[in-house]
């Protein structure tokens, strides 16, 4: 295991991987700009007619069910299978799983039919998918009774993924090891779509480090968290924080990132 967000970021910026995102309407511009600011290339494409071809061009596929509907779910499944066939790693963001039956079942169906490398969600969403009792309320504020570290481990084992459970402290597990990431800032919770951005950036890191999904997922969260810390410095509220976040992602310095990342084994 080598955890070095700085090294991965440097590599990612050199290779500029294409990250195919089938994501929700609310955050498309935001995740595209976060991807671009970090140093990768976003592409959004959702038509059944082209998703497989687009996915095969990509370094990673990010599936986000934030505003799902049947045509989109079909495309997500087709893209996921094409990604699997082409060995393109897949990130799933199960936005709102637990809030409605349709979301929960769609997330489960994708996990069932597609080999997902990293599942990135909040505690409520992940708990729903792994069968743990959780309080779910909308998509912005979800709590969970259990312990986040154990939840990540249980989800990874139960679902056969790297589980990346974000919160005040993030927990990433491959079912065996758990990495805790203690970067970030409270203002990240005040902007819609920051969870989705963290999934997009997970795709970017995974594209650059596909054989170490646990490390890639933790590094992505550390990098995003550090950018959040930088963005908060001069923020006057969620609007200016949001703007600063792109500046901060673009300004992330690979040479200092490892020193600032608060990643620890649990």
Q: Which is nearer to its own copies, 135 or 147 (CB)?
A: 135
Q: Which is nearer to its own copies, 110 or 163 (CB)?
A: 110
174 Cβ contact list (under 8 Å, min separation 6): 156, 162, 213, 214
The string of DSSP codes covering 47-102 is -TTTHHHHHHT-SEEEEE-TT--HHHHHHHHHHHHHHHHTT--EEEE-TTBTTBHH
DSSP-assigned letter for residue 42: E
- Report the alpha-carbon distance of residue 156 to residue 153 in Å, rounded: 5
Q: Which is nearer to its own copies, 193 or 213 (CB)?
A: 193
Q: Which residues of this chain interact with its own copies, rule CB under 8 A? A: 16, 18, 24-30, 32-33, 36-37, 41-50, 53-54, 57, 66-71, 96, 99-103, 137-141, 190-193, 236-240, 242-251
Q: Are 27 and 204 in contact (CB under 8 A)?
A: no
Nearest approach in angstroms of CB 138 to its own copies is 4
Nearest approach in angstroms of CB 211 to its own copies is 23
Nearest approach in angstroms of CB 225 to its own copies is 17
> Strand, coil or helix: what is 236?
coil
Nearest approach in angstroms of CB 51 to its own copies is 9
- Report the alpha-carbon distance of residue 263 to residue 236 in Å, rounded: 28
Q: Which is nearer to its own copies, 124 or 175 (CB)?
A: 124
61's tokens: 């596929």
Nearest approach in angstroms of CB 212 to its own copies is 24
Q: Which is nearer to its own copies, 171 or 185 (CB)?
A: 185
34's tokens: 């976060």
């Amino acid at each position: 295991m080598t955890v070095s967000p700085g090294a991965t970021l440097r590599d990612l910026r050199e290779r500029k991987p294409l990250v195919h995102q089938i994501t929700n309407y609310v955050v498309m511009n935001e995740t595209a700009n976060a991807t671009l600011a970090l140093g990768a290339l976003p592409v959004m494409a959702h038509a059944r007619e082209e998703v497989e071809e687009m996915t095969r061009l990509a370094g990673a596929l990010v599936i986000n069910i934030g505003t799902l509907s049947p045509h989109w779910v079909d495309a997500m499944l087709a893209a996921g299978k094409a990604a699997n066939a082409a060995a393109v790693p897949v990130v799933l963001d199960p936005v709102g799983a637990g809030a409605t039956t349709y979301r929960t079942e769609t997330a489960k169906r994708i996990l069932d039919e597609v080999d997902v490398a990293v599942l990135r969600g909040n505690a409520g969403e992940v708990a729903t998918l792994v069968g743990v009792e959780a309080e779910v309320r909308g998509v912005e504020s979800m709590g969970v009774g259990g312990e986040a570290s154990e939840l990540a481990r249980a989800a990874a084992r139960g679902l056969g993924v790297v589980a990346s459970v974000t919160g005040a402290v993030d927990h990433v597990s491959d079912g065996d090891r758990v990495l805790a990431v203690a970067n970030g800032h409270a203002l990240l919770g005040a902007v819609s779509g920051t969870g989705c951005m963290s999934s997009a950036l997970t795709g970017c890191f995974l594209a650059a480090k596909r054989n170490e999904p646990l490390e890639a997922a933790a590094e992505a969260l550390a990098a995003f968290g550090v950018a959040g810390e930088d963005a908060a410095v001069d923020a006057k509220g969620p609007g200016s924080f949001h703007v600063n976040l792109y500046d901060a992602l673009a300004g992330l310095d690979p040479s200092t990132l490892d020193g600032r990342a608060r990643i620890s084994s649990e």
